[in-house]
Amino acid sequence: MSEGTGFHRAYRYRLRSNRKAEAVLRRWAGCSRKVWNLALAEQQARRERGEKYAGFAGMCQWVTTWRKAPETAYLAEVPVHVLQNVVRALDGAFQRFFRKEGGYPKFKRRGDPIGLRETDVKCFSVDAANGRIRFPKVGWLRYRASRPIEGRAITVTLRAEADGWYVSIACAFEPKALERGPKACGIDRGVANFAAFDTGQRIAPLDAHKRSLQRLRRYQRAVTRKIEAAKVAAGIPKGKPFPKGFRLQPSNRLRKAQARVAKIHQGIARQRADFLHKLSTQIAREHALVCLEDLKVRSMSASAAGTQEAPGKRVRQKAGLNRSILDQGWTMFKDQLAYKLEWRDGVLVLVHPAYTSQRCHACAHTHADNRKGEVFRCRSCGHTDHADVNAAKNILAAGHAVLAGDGHALVEGQVQSGRPVKREPTEGLRHAA
C-alpha cells in the first residue's frame, strides 16, 4: 500500500531456534490475548450500560490501568507498544463491524494466533547484514535471511506458527522503474477455471485444500477421538459438551495430533499463497490495466442451511461449492494484483458482476439460457465461445466503461427470462461436491 509517494513491503523470515526467547514470546502472546479479551469484555459491558464505544485512545488508557493493577501486574512485562497495538487491532475490527464489512469481534481462545507488533522505530533495530533484529525486552533475535531487505524498516511483528516463530519486517521504500506491459485484460474468476482471460487463456485452479482434504480429514478424526478420550478421563459423559469455563488438559498424543493438523493447514496456505503470488506477479508485469469482477465472496460462500422453520435446500452441495470458492483465494488474488499494479503505475478496475456470464460479447444479448455449463451460445446471434472467456471479454468492456465514466452502462439491462441470475453455473455444484 502507498503512503504519500512511498510504498510498503513486508519481508517475512523464520526465527532461528532460541528456546529461552521463545518461552518469553509465548508468555507475551498469552498476555496479548488477555488484553484483547479484557478490552472486548469492557466494550460489551459499556454497550449494555448504554455508554458510547470507547475508541483506540480510551482502550490505551485501560491498558495502562491493567498494567498497574495488582491482579494483572504481569502485563507490565510486555512492551507497552505491543499491547497498544493489540487494542489498535481490536479497534480496527470494531470499525469494520460498524461499516458492515465484517462480523462482531470474537474472544480469542488459548492457542489462537496473535502477533506481537512493535511500531516505534526507536524501540527496535534491524541488522540485515547479520540477519538479526533487536526486539524490546527480549534482545537480539537471529532469523534466516533468505533474501535481502530493501527500504527503511517501520514495523516488526513476531508471530507463532505451526513450525516455529516468524518475524515480519515492514519497510517503506521508493519503487524503482518496474517493468510493465502495455496491454489490458479482463479476468473472470471461477471454480472450474481459476482465471479465464479475454484472450482465451485459462488457468487451472490449484485446489490446495481439495488435494489435502483426505489426509486432513484422517488426522482431524484422530484429534476428535483423542478429545473424546480425554473428556471421558476428565469425568465428562461421552458426547456431552464441555462445561462452561472447563479447560481440557491435552495429552501428549492429542498435542501431536493437533500439531499434524496445524501443519497440514499451514502447507495448504503456503501452497495457495505461492500460486497466487506467481500468477499475480506475471499478470502485473504484462498488463497496464486489469479488470476484475467486484465479487462479494462472503455472500457467495454463505451457508444454505437455513433455519428450523425454513430449512435450506441442497445444503451439502452448497457446502461443497462454498469450500471450493474459499479454496481459490479470490480476495487474496485481488489484493495482490492491486498493490503489484500500483508499484508499476498500473490500474486495477473492479466492475459490477451482474450478467457478465449471460451477456453475449458479440451482440450484447442477455439471457440466462445463453450459458450452459462451460459453453456459451447466444440465443440471438448464435455466437459461440467458452463461457468464462466470454465473461472475461464482458468484464474488460465493463472496465473500459468504468474508466470512461459510464460504469453502469453495461449492467442496466434486465435478464430476458423470468429465471433468477446465478453467479455460478449449476455444474459448479457437481464439481465442488
* Residue indicated by cell numbers 472450474: 192
Query: Any catalytic annotation for residue 424?
Result: no
Please tell me whether residue 290 adopts helix, strand or coil conformation.
strand
Sheet hosting strand 164-173, strand order edge to edge: 2-3, 6-14, 164-173, 152-161, 116-118
Q: Are 7 and 133 in contact (CB under 8 A)?
A: no
Q: Which of 91, 118, 198, 293 is catalytic?
A: 293
**Nine-digit cell string for 415:** 435478464
Q: Are 267 and 212 in contact (CB under 8 A)?
A: yes
Q: How many residues does the chain have?
A: 433
Cα–chain-centroid distance for residue 433?
23
Give strand ranges (E) for 115-220.
116-118, 125-127, 132-135, 139-142, 152-161, 164-173, 183-189, 195-197, 202-203
Classify residue 175 as exposed, middle or buried by CB count within 10 Å of its CB (0-12, 13-18, 19+).
middle
Task: Report CA-CA distances (Å) from 111 to 27, 51, 166, 393.
Answer: 12, 32, 16, 46
Q: Are 310 and 206 in contact (CB under 8 A)?
A: no
* Sign for the pseudo-dihedral over CA of 14, 18, 19, 20: negative
Q: How far apart are CA 140 and CA 134, in angstroms?
A: 4
Q: What is the DSSP letter of 51?
A: P
- Give the side-chain half-sphere CA count within 13 A for 151: 17
- Contacts of residue 262, defined as CB under 8 A and 6 or more positions apart, other chains included, come to 162
Query: Any catalytic annotation for residue 42?
Result: no
Please tell me whether residue 140 adopts helix, strand or coil conformation.
strand
Q: How far apart are CA 171 and CA 152, in angstroms?
A: 5
Closest by Cα among 38, 37, 65, 42 to 52:
42
Q: Which of 91, 118, 188, 198 is catalytic?
A: 188
* Angle at CA of residue 289, ends 350 and 295, nearest 5°: 20
Phi then psi for residue 221, to 5 deg, are -65, -35
Q: What is the DSSP letter of 71?
A: G
Please tell me whether residue 95 adopts helix, strand or coil conformation.
helix
Query: Any catalytic annotation for residue 293?
Result: yes
| Torsion (CA) 354, 357, 362, 363 in degrees, nearest 10 | -50
H or E element, residue 337: helix 330-343
Active site residues: 188, 293, 388
